[in-house]
Amino acid sequence: MMMMSEGHFRCENVKDCDPRGCRGTSHVICKDHKCTCGHGAPIGGECFRLIDCNLSACPPNTHVLCKTNVCTCVPN
């Protein structure tokens, strides 16, 4: 794990980053080779309302739902 502070280490993918560096409903992402925190719970993450989820996390022709407290992709 590489992320001691946000944006400090270079990463190739999200597995290179330490998820403990993000708090609340944010999740770790590797953006421009830097570990940083994305907002909204990832698919499979905990949610209480739809706004808790990362609304751009689903592939085309699907959309995000907060179903039984889990962010889920469902077909359109």
pLDDT digit string (tens) for 14-49? 788 887 877 766 777 777 888 888 778 888 888 888
Percent of the chain at pLDDT exceeding 70 = 86
- Looking at residue 13, its pLDDT comes to 81
Amino acid letter for position 46: E
Are residues 33 and 4 part of one domain? yes
Which pTM was predicted? 0.56
Q: CA dist 54 to 1, 13, 71, Å?
A: 23, 18, 8
Are residues 47 and 26 part of one domain? no
Are residues 1 and 35 part of one domain? yes
Are residues 56 and 26 part of one domain? no
pLDDT of 8 higher than 70: no
